C-alpha cells in the first residue's frame, strides 16, 4: 500500500473514530439527561397528584376520578393508586408506544430510556390513606432524542466533510513533493538525471536535498568524464593546430559517407592547398603561419555553414579537404572558398596563394578514385593563377533527372503497395551471440525493378515530405518479421520524422497494437538529430519505452561528449560511428578515446555498440575497450 493511501486510511479512521466517539458520548449524556428529567418529572407529578388526592378525604370514587383525569392528559404511561395495605385501588396504563411517536423501533430498542416511577404518600391529616405511583410516558423523550440525534449527526457529518476537505488539501501538499521525489527516483532508474524543487516540509526537504545532491554528484562525475573523453577525442581525431579532423579520421568519415545506406546519394569534395607553405613560413614566421592556417580552417567552416554533415579535415601540412553531401540545401560553390581565401590572405598581409580543386561524387564510388579525381582538379588549379578553381564533374544517374512530382508519385505508390524490404546486418556480443539485426530498408521504386538503398530515394523523400510514412512502413515490416521468427530487429528513424507532429502518435498506436512484438524492436536516431531535437528524442523515449521498445543513438562519436541530454533522455544504448571505431588496433590515441567513451556511457547505464567494424584486429581491440557489441563486415553472423 502506498504512503498516500496509508495517510488517507489513517485520516479516515481518525475521522470515523472521532465521529462515532463524539456521537456515542453525546448520545449517552443525552439519554442520562432525559432519564434524570423523567425521574424528576415523575416525582414532582406524584407529589402534586398525592396532594390533590389528599383533599378527597378518603373517598375512593373521587380519588379514582382525579387519577383518571390526570391520566387522560396523555403524558403518562401508568398511574396507580394503592391503599395503606399496598393493595391496588386504581390502575390506569397506556401502550408502550404513543400514537404520534416518530422515533423508529430499532432506535427505541437501542437507546432504552428508563422512566423511574415517582411515588408519593396520600394522607388525610395524620392518617395515611395509601400511595400513588406515577410513570411518565418515555416516548416523548425518544422523539426528542431521535430528532436531536439527526441534527447532531448531520452537523458532525458536515464537520467531517469540512475536515476531509482540509485533510485533502494537506495531503495534496504532501503528495506533490513526494510525487516529485518518486518521479526523480524513477528517472534515475531510467538513467535520466533531473533535479526537483525542494518542498517546504522539513522532512521532505531533506529527502529532496539528498536526491538532488546525488544527481548533482553524478552529473559532476559525468561532466568530468565527458571532459576527459573530449580531450581524448581531440588527440585521436583532430588536428592540434586547426581543430579540424586529422587525415585518418577524415578518410574514415569520407568512407562511411560514400558507403552509407542511409547517407546522401551524392555531393562534392574540395581539396584546398596553400601553395609553397614552407616559403610563407620562412617569409612571415612560424607564429603568423599558424595563425593563417587557423583562420583558413575557420573560413572553411564559415563557407560550408548550414550544410548538414559537412566533413573538414587536414590531410597534411598545406592540404585541406572538405566533403559535403546532398541534404536538401544548396551546396556552396568552390569559387566561394577561393574568394574567402583571397580575402584571408589580404587581411593577414601574406603574399602567397591557395588553390581549390573540386569533384562531384555519388554513393558507392571508390574513395581512391574520388580523391584522385579531386587531386587532378587541384593540380590543374595549381598550374594556373593564384586562388584558381578547377572542378571535375561526373554524370548523375538517370533517377536524379526525375522531377519532384514524379518522385512524389513513385514514392507514394511504393508506400501504398508496401514495396519495401528490410535487409539484415547482425549485431553480436563478445561471445558471438546475436543481440539484434540492424535492418535498413530498401524500396522497390518500380514494380519490376530492383530494391534501392536509401541513398537513392531518401533525399527526394525528404523534399516530398514522405519520410515519416516511410519510417512507419519500416516499423511495420520489422514488427511483421519479429512476429514470424521472434528475432529482435533495429530500425533507424529519420530526424524529419521526429519533427512531424503526427508521426509519434501514429507510431505509438501501431506499437500498442503489435503487442509483445514491440518488446523486440530497437529504434535508433542519429546523434545529430538527438543534439538538434533533444525535446523530440526525450518525448520519443518517454512514450515508447513504456511499451518495451529500446531507443538508442546511432552514428555517435564527435558530438557525444557534448550531449548533455544523456542525463535526461532515457536512452538504452549508443552505437559508435564507424569513423570512431575504425583503426583502434593501430592508433593508441583512438583506442584510448573509445575506451573513455565506453566507460563514460557505462557509468550512465547505457549499452555501447560499434558500427562499421571492417577489421578483425579492430574488433578484438574493441572488445578489450569494453564495448558490448559490434556490427560491420568483420562481424560474422552466428
How does residue 352 score in pLDDT terms, banded at 50, 70 and 90? Answer: confident
Most confident region among 255-264, 383-392, 416-425, 601-610 by mean pLDDT: 416-425
% of the chain residues with pLDDT over 90: 32
Quick: pLDDT tens for 573-599: 999 998 889 889 988 888 998 998 898
Tell me what the mean pLDDT of segment 467-495 comes to: 94
Gap between the Cα atoms of 271 and 391, Å rounded? 10
Gap between the Cα atoms of 72 and 135, Å rounded? 13
In Å, how far are 196, 206, 219 from 213, measured between CA atoms?
11, 10, 10
Predicted pLDDT of residue 355? 93
Residue 71 pLDDT exceeds 80: yes
- Higher per-residue confidence, 80 vs 3: 80
Residue 229 pLDDT exceeds 90: no
Residue 438 pLDDT exceeds 90: yes
Predicted pLDDT of residue 329? 80
E strands of 11-74, at which residues? none
Quick: pLDDT tens for 389-411: 999 865 444 444 556 688 889 89
Tell me what the mean pLDDT of segment 352-380 comes to: 88
Gap between the Cα atoms of 309 and 313, Å rounded? 13
| Residues linked to residue 354 through DSSP beta bridges, in sequence order | 274
In Å, how far are 125, 370, 545, 574, 598 from 300, measured between CA atoms?
137, 20, 41, 30, 32
Quick: pLDDT tens for 544-565: 988 999 999 998 887 776 655 6
Per CATH, the homologous superfamily of domain 243-396 is Reverse transcriptase/Diguanylate cyclase domain (3.30.70.270)
How does residue 519 score in pLDDT terms, banded at 50, 70 and 90? Answer: very high
Residue 623 pLDDT exceeds 80: yes
Q: Which of 25-34, 158-167, 221-230, 251-260 has the lowest mean pLDDT?
A: 221-230
Residue 447 pLDDT exceeds 70: yes
259: Cβ–Cβ under 8 A, 6 or more apart, which residues? 363, 364
Phi and psi, residue 156, nearest 5°: -65, -40
Average pLDDT, the chain: 85
How does residue 448 score in pLDDT terms, banded at 50, 70 and 90? Answer: confident
Predicted pLDDT of residue 220? 79
Question: Helical H runs in 367-403?
Answer: 367-382
Quick: pLDDT tens for 182-198: 777 777 666 667 777 77
Q: Which of 149-153, 439-443, 516-520 has the lowest mean pLDDT?
A: 149-153
Gap between the Cα atoms of 578 and 314, Å rounded? 19
Predicted pLDDT of residue 567? 63
- Higher per-residue confidence, 291 vs 192: 291
- Higher per-residue confidence, 598 vs 227: 598
Fold of 402-630: TIM Barrel (3.20.20)
% of the chain residues with pLDDT over 70: 94
Predicted pLDDT of residue 397? 46
Q: What are the grid coordinates assigned to 385, written together?
A: 593563377
In Å, how far are 153, 573, 631 from 638, measured between CA atoms?
77, 22, 12
Predicted pLDDT of residue 54? 83
Predicted pLDDT of residue 413? 93
Predicted pLDDT of residue 396? 46
Predicted pLDDT of residue 103? 81
How does residue 247 score in pLDDT terms, banded at 50, 70 and 90? Answer: very high
Q: Where are the domains of the chain?
A: 3-162, 243-396, 402-630
Q: What are the grid coordinates assigned to 326, written together?
A: 546532398
193: Cβ–Cβ under 8 A, 6 or more apart, which residues? 187, 215, 218, 219, 222, 567, 568
170: Cβ–Cβ under 8 A, 6 or more apart, which residues? none
Answer for the pair 638, 428: CB distance below 8 angstroms, yes or no: yes
Predicted pLDDT of residue 287? 92
Fold of 3-162: Translation Initiation Factor IF3 (3.30.110)
Predicted pLDDT of residue 400? 46
Q: Which of 237-246, 266-275, 380-389, 390-399 has the lowest mean pLDDT?
A: 390-399
Residue 223 pLDDT exceeds 80: no
Amino acid at each position: 500500500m502506498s504512503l498516500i493511501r496509508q495517510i488517507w486510511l489513517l485520516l479516515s479512521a481518525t475521522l470515523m473514530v472521532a465521529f462515532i466517539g463524539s456521537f456515542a458520548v453525546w448520545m449517552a449524556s443525552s439519554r442520562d439527561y432525559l432519564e434524570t428529567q423523567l425521574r424528576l418529572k415523575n416525582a414532582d407529578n406524584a407529589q402534586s397528584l398525592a396532594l390533590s388526592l389528599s383533599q378527597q378525604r378518603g373517598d375512593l370514587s373521587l380519588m379514582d376520578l382525579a387519577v383518571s383525569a390526570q391520566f387522560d392528559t396523555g403524558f403518562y404511561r401508568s398511574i396507580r393508586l394503592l391503599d395503606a395495605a399496598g393493595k391496588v385501588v386504581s390502575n390506569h396504563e397506556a401502550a408502550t408506544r404513543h400514537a404520534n411517536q416518530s422515533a423508529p423501533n430499532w432506535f427505541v430498542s437501542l437507546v432504552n430510556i428508563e422512566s423511574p416511577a415517582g411515588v408519593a404518600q396520600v394522607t388525610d391529616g395524620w392518617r395515611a390513606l395509601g400511595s400513588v405511583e406515577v410513570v411518565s410516558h418515555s416516548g416523548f423523550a425518544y422523539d426528542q432524542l431521535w430528532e436531536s440525534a439527526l441534527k447532531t449527526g448531520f452537523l458532525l457529518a458536515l464537520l467531517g466533510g469540512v475536515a476531509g476537505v482540509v485533510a485533502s488539501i494537506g495531503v495534496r501538499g504532501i503528495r506533490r513533493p513526494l510525487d516529485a521525489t518518486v518521479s526523480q527516483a524513477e528517472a534515475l532508474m531510467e538513467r535520466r538525471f533531473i533535479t526537483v524543487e525542494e518542498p517546504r516540509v522539513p522532512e521532505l526537504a531533506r529527502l529532496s536535498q539528498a536526491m538532488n545532491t546525488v544527481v548533482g554528484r553524478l552529473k559532476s562525475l559525468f561532466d568530468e568524464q565527458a571532459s576527459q573523453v573530449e580531450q581524448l577525442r581531440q588527440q585521436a581525431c583532430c588536428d592540434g593546430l586547426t581543430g579540424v579532423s586529422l587525415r585518418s579520421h577524415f578518410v574514415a568519415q569520407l568512407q562511411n559517407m560514400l558507403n552509407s545506406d542511409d547517407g546522401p546519394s551524392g555531393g562534392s569534395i574540395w581539396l584546398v592547398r596553400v601553395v609553397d607553405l614552407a616559403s610563407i613560413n620562412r617569409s612571415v614566421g612560424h607564429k603568423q603561419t599558424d595563425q593563417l592556417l587557423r583562420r583558413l580552417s575557420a573560413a572553411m567552416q564559415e563557407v560550408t555553414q548550414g550544410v548538414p554533415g559537412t566533413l573538414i579535415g587536414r590531410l597534411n601540412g598545406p592540404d585541406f579537404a572538405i566533403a559535403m553531401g546532398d541534404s536538401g540545401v544548396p551546396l556552396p560553390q568552390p569559387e566561394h572558398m577561393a574568394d574567402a581565401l583571397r580575402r584571408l590572405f589580404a587581411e593577414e598581409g601574406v603574399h602567397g596563394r591557395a588553390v581549390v580543386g573540386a569533384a562531384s561524387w555519388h554513393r558507392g564510388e571508390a574513395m581512391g578514385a574520388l580523391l584522385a579525381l579531386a587531386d587532378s582538379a587541384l593540380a590543374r588549379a595549381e598550374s594556373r593563377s593564384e586562388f584558381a578553381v578547377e572542378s571535375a564533374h561526373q554524370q548523375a544517374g538517370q533517377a536524379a533527372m526525375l522531377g519532384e512530382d514524379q518522385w512524389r508519385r513513385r514514392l507514394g505508390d511504393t508506400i501504398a503497395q508496401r514495396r519495401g524490404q528490410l535487409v539484415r546486418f547482425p549485431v553480436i556480443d563478445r561471445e558471438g551471440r546475436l543481440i539484434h539485426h540492424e535492418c535498413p530498408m530498401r524500396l522497390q521504386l518500380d514494380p519490376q525493378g530492383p530494391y534501392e538503398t536509401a541513398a537513392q530515394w531518401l533525399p527526394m523523400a525528404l523534399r516530398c515530405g514522405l519520410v515519416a510514412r516511410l519510417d512507419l512502413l519500416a516499423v511495420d515490416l520489422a514488427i511483421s518479421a519479429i512476429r514470424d521468427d521472434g528475432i529482435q530487429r533495429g530500425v533507424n528513424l529519420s530526424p524529419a520524422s521526429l519533427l512531424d507532429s503526427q508521426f509519434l502518435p501514429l507510431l505509438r498506436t501501431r506499437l500498442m497494437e503489435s503487442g509483445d512484438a514491440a518488446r523486440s524492436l530497437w529504434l535508433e536516431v542519429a546523434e545529430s538529430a538527438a543534439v538538434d531535437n533533444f525535446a523530440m528524442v526525450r518525448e520519443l523515449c518517454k512514450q515508447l519505452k513504456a511499451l518495451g521498445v529500446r531507443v538508442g543513438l546511432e552514428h555517435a562519436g564527435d558530438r557525444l561528449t557534448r550531449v548533455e541530454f544523456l542525463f535526461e533522455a532515457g536512452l538504452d544504448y549508443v552505437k559508435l560511428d564507424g569513423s570512431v571505431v575504425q583503426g583502434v588496433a593501430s592508433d593508441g590515441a583512438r583506442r584510448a578515446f573509445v575506451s573513455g567513451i565506453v566507460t563514460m556511457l557505462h557509468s550512465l547505464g547505457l549499452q555501447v555498440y560499434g558500427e562499421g567494424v571492417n577489421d578483425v584486429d579492430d574488433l578484438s581491440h574493441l572488445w578489450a575497450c569494453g564495448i558490448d557489441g559490434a556490427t560491420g563486415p568483420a562481424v560474422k553472423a552466428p
